[in-house]
Chain A
Amino acid sequence: MAGITLNKAIKRYGAVDVIHGIDLEIEDGEFCVLVGPSGCGKSTLLRMVAGLEETSGGDIHIGSRNVTRLDPAARGVSMVFQTYALYPHMTVAENMSFGLRMNGHPKAEIAAKVKAAADILKLNDYLERKPKALSGGQRQRVAIGRAIVRGPEVFLFDEPLSNLDAELRVEMRVEIARLHKEIGATMVYVTHDQVEAMTLADKIVVLRSGRIEQVGTPLDLYHDPDNRFVAGFIGSPAMNFVKATVRDGRVHAPGLSDEAFAVDIALPPNGTDLLVGVRPHHIAIDPQGASHTLIVKEALGAMFHAYLEAPTGERIVVEVPEAEAVGLQGEVGLRMGPDRLLLFDARTELRLR
């Protein structure tokens, strides 16, 4: 078992840097999720750890070993691919045992390891089938089984659930969480889905354009984002942002309310442009008010999403309990606690604390 340390890891394609010197510490046994929009470099970073992409600068340690220049096979990692990457001409058992067979392990040991992995993943009934005869979820299980059989120090997952339908994705998500609990190995998991990140991770790393935006536990990132990007990326539905200005030591956000808010942090000078962020479920609707126009209600069951338009033209999403939402229409007002508002500098988009 081993943690992973990245020191100023850089990936360069020709003259273009796609990973700009990343420092990251992943503890032994931790479930670390790399998350970010497409093109942010999260898969590249994972593949650098796997050794499938060469590291252009900096170094990567797994445990106490410097693996920066090692072959993928020598790093003690297993990887689960988005498209499963199962060998179509081999049965499930052959797929899982391929790596061990190629490296001359004794037959009895291989059989025992395949059996153990199949037990964990409930694949015993399918061992003699070819991947073609399996469903997407079963194929992904086999891919994970292949990773387990090799007994690696580190598991790497590259968007393993994005080829599955919504229902299976939830099921496999739980499965992976259970697996992590059972095996206890270090896992690095790449996804663009912030729900997967929130539910699986011990530690989330939010990436954008090859740089780390913030590292922290899911709830840290949710409640205490460092900047507007993280605040907007984590949480569903996404946080609302409206323009605001500092006026006489108070925050004036016309998209939320005509009245300025008092906040208990040190504000920049008068007239500075700010962004105010507030989560949809931190806003309540005041049916007596008339500051906003209700455009659409989406029924999700117990909760409704109400889409409002402010007089400034800004859109605001509010989460409303079913009971309050049913009769809602026309002009409404908003209520929210000022302590729920997050302030960001409009220019740097950094959080004001």
Chain B
Amino acid sequence: MSYVTRVWQDHKTTITPWLFLLPGILMFAIYIVIPIFQSIAISFYRWDGLGEKTFIGLENYRELMRDDIFFTALQNNVIWLVLYLLALPAGLFLALFLNQTTRGIRIYKSLFFFPFVISQVVVGLVFSWFYDPSFGLFNTGLMKIGLSPIPVLADERFVTYGVIIAGLWPQIAYCMILYLTGLNAVDGEQIEAARLDNVRGWRMLWYVILPQLRPATFIALVVTVIGALRSFDLISIMTGGGPWGSSQVLAYYMYEQAFSEYGFRMGYGAAIAVVLFAIMLIYIGFFLAKMYRDEKGR
């Protein structure tokens, strides 16, 4: 027996999992882990993407501190984050509403899930038309009840909220599906036991149903937070960050600095990306800590 065969025979069960993990690890490293460090490195340079890189230390970050649009983007990201969380209760409510056995309930569920299936670009277009001052449903409705039309996407005060509502539409559908799946796993006998304990309505939801939905809530929270922080498609389709940068968010601002016609400031874009990454890291850390605790608790 050759040496290799013998090692294989002795360590089969230790080596096999790594062999299965290898393709995933390789892909993850090449496309995620290494680029993260490359981005961090680039953020210390001035670079147009083609020519010579010049090391400028923390100059990009210093410039960020003086950049009003960056702070608008940061603030908008916080608004996105907070309002996006509405997708959880809304999704839960829809799920509770749809969690019944009526004729054709599958069709209704599919219809409610539909916004999540269609592309964000389409969602953006649909809502752009919805808000359109001349023919959009929103303003037609406002005029019907005697109010003057509001050009939501052209008004600095409303634009971010208008885009967030568009984003909530598919996000609620996503949370709804997560909760519908969770509701399938709710133990019917626990509900009956609670009924015998004279618990019903909101108290039933709060004390008996929601605790059983904790895994679904956790996943819904994580995907919603990440979804809010990486919002990009809708901004790009609906406003392009305008008017005058008022609906800017970090992800779109980074793209604009690094790749759009305003110039190829790779280093500055990378610095914005690093800031966004740092914010996400807080949540990822929270996520990993929770996963680790759950795994250990088992």
A residues adjacent to B (C-beta < 8 A) = 50, 52, 71-74, 77-79, 81-83, 85-89, 98-99, 102-103, 146, 150
B237 at the interface (CB under 8 A from A): no
Contact status B192-A85, CB under 8 Å: yes
Contact status B196-A87, CB under 8 Å: no
The 9 closest A-B pairs by CB, nearest first: A73-B198, A99-B197, A85-B189, A89-B211, A85-B193, A81-B189, A85-B190, A72-B196, A72-B195
A interface footprint on B38-82 (CB within 8 Å = 1, 0 otherwise): 000000000000000000000000000000000000000000000
Task: With CB as the reference atom, state the residue of chain B lying closest to A143.
Answer: B193
13 CB-based A-B contacts, threshold 8 Å: A71-B198, A72-B196, A73-B197, A73-B198, A79-B196, A86-B190, A87-B190, A87-B207, A89-B212, A99-B196, A99-B197, A99-B199, A102-B199
Q: How far is the CA of A50 from the CA of B192 in the complex (A)?
A: 10
Contact status B195-A52, CB under 8 Å: yes
Contact status B198-A88, CB under 8 Å: no
Task: With CB as the reference atom, state the residue of chain B lying closest to A83.
Answer: B189
Which of these, A77, A83, A86, contacts B196 with CB under 8 Å?
Answer: A77
Q: How far is the CA of A50 from the CA of B207 in the complex (A)?
A: 22
Q: Which residues of B contact A98 (CB under 8 A)?
A: 194, 197, 199, 207
Min CB distance A45 to B, Å, is 15
Q: Which residues of A contact B208 (CB under 8 A)?
A: 87
Q: Which residues of B contact A86 (CB under 8 A)?
A: 190
Interface size class of B (residues with CB under 8 A): 10 to 19
B203 at the interface (CB under 8 A from A): yes
Q: Which residues of B contact A73 (CB under 8 A)?
A: 195-198
Q: How far is the CA of A92 from the CA of B195 in the complex (A)?
A: 19
Q: How far is the CA of A52 from the CA of B190 in the complex (A)?
A: 12
Min CB distance B214 to A, Å, is 8
B residues adjacent to A (C-beta < 8 A) = 187, 189-190, 192-199, 203, 207-208, 211-212, 214
Q: How far is the CA of A85 from the CA of B125 in the complex (A)?
A: 49
Q: How far is the CA of A78 from the CA of B203 in the complex (A)?
A: 19
Q: Apart from A83-B189, A87-B211, A99-B198, what 9 extra A-B contacts exist at CB < 8 Å?
A: A52-B192, A73-B198, A81-B192, A85-B192, A99-B199, A102-B203, A102-B207, A103-B197, A103-B198
Q: Which residues of A contact B212 (CB under 8 A)?
A: 88-89
Min CB distance A337 to B, Å, is 49
Assuming the contacts A85-B187, A88-B212, asked whether A78 and B207 have C-beta atoms less than 8 A apart, the reply is no
Which of these, B193, B199, B203, B207, contacts A79 with CB under 8 Å?
Answer: B193
Min CB distance B147 to A, Å, is 46
Q: Which residues of B contact A88 (CB under 8 A)?
A: 211-212
Interface centre among B193, B194, B195, B197 (most CB of A within 10 A): B193
Q: How far is the CA of A85 from the CA of B193 in the complex (A)?
A: 7
Contact status A150-B187, CB under 8 Å: no
Which of these, B194, B197, B207, contacts A150 with CB under 8 Å?
Answer: B197
Q: How far is the CA of A176 from the CA of B211 in the complex (A)?
A: 31
Interface centre among A72, A77, A79 (most CB of B within 10 A): A72
Q: How far is the CA of A239 from the CA of B119 in the complex (A)?
A: 69
